Structure 1
Amino acid sequence: MNEAALKPAAGASALLTADDVVAAARRIAGAVVRTPTFHSQTLSAITGAEIYLKFENHQFTAAYKERGALNAMLQLSDEQRAKGVIAASAGNHSQGLSYHGTRLGIPVTIVMPKTTPVVKVMQTEAVGGKVVLEGESFDEASAHARKLETELGLTFVHPFDDPQVAAGQGTVALEMLEDVPDLEVLAIPVGGGGLASGMGTIARALRPDIKLIGVEAELYPSMYNLLKQADCPIGGDTLAEGIAVFEPGKFTSQVLGDLLDDFVLVNEHQIERALALLLQIEKTVVEGAGAAGLAAVIANPELFAGGKVGIVLSGGNIDTRLLANVLLRDLARSGRAARLRLVLADRPGSLFRVSKVFYDHNVNIIEIVHQRVFTSLPAKGLATEIECEARDAVQLDALITALRAEGFEVSMMESR
């Protein structure tokens, strides 16, 4: 790292400086994984930009959140360390804080809503955190954490709205620019804004001409609304739960207001597509928030075309059943998997005729379901649902055309 190259960012906020990020990098060195930044030839060809991926899903707790949590804890006084820290989180912050707190001998208490999935509670406890379940919502859990902070004399470590936390997260971009000094654009996931504040601050100092693009889930455009003076609705079930924030940070919003060149929203289909591509092409598992940067590049090619684009894969903590569902949905959208509904006469040989068409077109049948009772068809009618696997959409369309040519009524059970 060439520290002499550091320059104050244009419009830089005194709330967070490049020196803060550099100091954080020295502080946490050796205690977090120095994750790689790799060029992706295939994703570059798909997107029309030169894509460089930062694999923060390779951290011990599978997320960048360790960096900020550790940087904050390393600046505690001896008295604060002895009493311990507390946070309200049901996500990656809770694991990063618990893991490094245990390493440093600092007691960590995490308050989670009672509705938190058991697996998240177990993951936090597995790395040494003490979990307190309180309230039906995150706001209620956070209020209880603040109450315990006062009652027990604990130090509250905010998941994003804290300069020390944001400085730690900024070390992600510091490493990226050490590995690829001529990056031209960063596509940064934004929830509360801690990662984008830290990354943007150091990136703008090292490369004043770099473009900084914030990326938020379309269902949770809280920072987007604030900075763009928009009024998009907020709420819903998003795959990108790691950046699903109702209220953006007060400190981080001030920093990002001076930093970001643009801000884009990505929808659920775009996030799912990016997640599936990362698994299929890069053989790496990311959570929804971790796929947001790539989703933005795919959805907004005009913003990134031809540029050297840095994307942080911010985390890899995703439920395996959810991951399987996302991959299957992607197969269906791409035409490689489908569930077809056929109406045929309930007589010998009907299913054989159908199967022969599948055989002739080399489409694999995965499952067949007959329905004779719960249907509005005549008594001699038969509804058959066939789940199948094709090479691509062209092969699937040819199969459907051939089935109809044989006189079968065919419809898709899921839209592509």
Structure 2
Amino acid sequence: MLVKLSIPQVRGGIWRFCDRVKQLGPLLEYQERLDTIFKDFSNIVINSAWLGSFVLSISFFYVPKIINNNLSIALKIYIIIAFGLLLIKLISIAIDILTKISLNYAILKERQDLYERLYPLLPLFNKCLNGIIYITIVGLIGEELKLKLVTNSTPKIIQIVVILLCGSFLIPIAEFIIEELLLGDRHLTEIQKKRRLTLKPLIRNFIKYFVYFTAIVSGLKIFGIDPTAILAGAGIVGIAVGFGAQNLINDIVCGFLILFENYYLVGDYIQISLPEEDTLEGTVEAIELRTTQIRHPDGQLQIVRNGNIGSIVNYSKEYVYAKVEISVPYDVDLDTIYDIIETVGNKLKRESPDILEATQVDGLEEFGKTSLLIRTITKVKPGKHLELQRCLRRMLKDTFDGQKMKIASHDDD
């Protein structure tokens, strides 16, 4: 009777509290979900009250003690499961609110890059919290049922999940901090920016492996395993493996030499020779300890082992010459051709800030069977030679066509 009389008062109090909560600014968009949560909460409280009163009433009768104990355990299990599932729903709403607040803050502070970097972690955060709640529910049920294996394992599993969650958050946050420290200064010169872009993947990989290593060692300690013996054994195995992995060691050593000798940086346009007289060229996209990633002008990404790199031609040091060769018939006036080339070269220099010195005629390069080969050079900024070679060829072709002058084909010689 007491429970029946108190139920309306309890339900009314819960819904009055619900109305106050829904009036809060950030929660206005979640009224339907909040209604569902408070309705479930009200039902859990009322059902628990009825079940509790039933168990209490049974104790006044002469029933076996084991039945009374089992009913009490069943009531506790119901409360644990019901409130655990309700907490999962609350966490889902809290994460949605946190996501919206974070987005508004990022827009206000113009830090959308930070939001975009951390946003994919929110679903992982939600799953980890849900996992912790489910594990806790199982642990509490195991404690009620006196299952020692479940009871002893639950805290350890929760600690493992927390370690994984912390590691997942630490890596992107550390990457963002590194990027801010290395590239946050807007007054960096081009060379300084390239050097920092080169160091960025190395520091990022170091932090990633350090976090993984720390997580593994922490996990071993949680399960009572001494990592010292394992690390000592791994060192001995590493030495043995090292003798059979000389190529890997060679690649790493060459990677260090490339970085510290400053042969090339991220963003440099290079040409390298490989074994069997092969050559590769393109823009350096990443330098790692074992490999170098080069983007070919045609678009394909080439990944080269550092130990296989032979001679290096770097087109991005201080300046480079854009060389263009022109074939003209024997009967043309060379002085007129030279004047046209210099005129076009001066025009291109005015139009392009990447040209350091105007085009010059380097001289007569070759006597062909039907044509003469003239060589021109243009001093340009590093890495701009291919683009400006194409521009110069186009402008020379248009100028020769405008003056009705013929360009010979050097392939015919």
TM beyond 0.5: no
Structure ID, larger Rg: 2
Q: Which has the higher helix share?
A: 2
Bigger RCO (CA 8 Å, 6+ sep)? 1
Q: How high is the TM-score relative to the length of structure 2? A: 0.30
Q: How high is the TM-score relative to the length of structure 1? A: 0.30
